[in-house]
Amino acid sequence: MKLSTRQIAATAALLAICIVSQFFKNTSVFITGPIINACIILAGLSSGLSCGIILSVITPITSFFISGSPVMSSIPAIIPCVMVGNILIVGCVCLLSDRIKGRFGLPLSMLAGCIVKALFMGVVISLILIPMFLPEKMHPKMSVFQSTFSIVQLLTGAAGCIYAHIIWIPLKKFMKNQD
């Protein structure tokens, strides 16, 4: 895998946007989540799947250090699961958008990515990790944590896909003119 300077620069710019947005995570995950999902998808579309995967792996780590989620501190195994969820959404978009013919290829691949990511995180994090490893003192908030890693992931993923789609339309034309 050899990345061009353009791919590295685009991925770095999207990472910077992700990091800035993570400072707002304690305000609302409905601000940070869609921005991060959009950036991951845009990295995959503009710079290739490998760059989308790089952001998918880095963003949960930076999020942990910036916003310090108590549930992730209590259950560190959530971090690699978020990484996998991010990889699933960008993987679906990058691998399916060209295979689904017609103008609905990208939106359908985004929809598939949102659903796959939310299902994975909902099952692995919400139904397995949280019930098994959540400390007793945090049990009153279990339902909040479970919905955060399932339903909220579906909603923030969908919003991120909408943002990415809106941005991708002119960005794709701009990138074609630059080649």
Go through the domains of the chain in sequence order and give each one's CATH number. Answer: 5-178 (1.10.1760.20)
Q: Which residues contact 129 (CB under 8 A, 6 or more apart)?
A: 75, 77, 78, 81
Q: What is the pLDDT of residues 58-80, one digit of tens each?
A: 999 999 999 878 899 999 999 99
* Region class of 13: left (phi > 0), else alpha (psi between -120 and 50), else beta: alpha
Polymer length of the chain: 179
pTM over 0.75: yes
Q: Each residue's pLDDT tens digit in the chain (179 positions)?
A: 688 999 999 999 999 999 999 998 778 889 999 999 999 999 999 999 999 999 999 999 999 999 878 899 999 999 999 999 999 999 999 999 988 888 899 999 999 999 999 999 999 999 999 999 999 999 999 999 999 999 999 999 999 999 999 999 999 998 888 76
pLDDT of residue 178: 78
Q: Where are the alpha helices (DSSP H) in the chain?
A: 5-22, 29-47, 49-67, 70-74, 78-96, 105-121, 130-133, 142-148, 151-178
As a whole number of angstroms, the longest Cα–Cα distance in the chain is 57
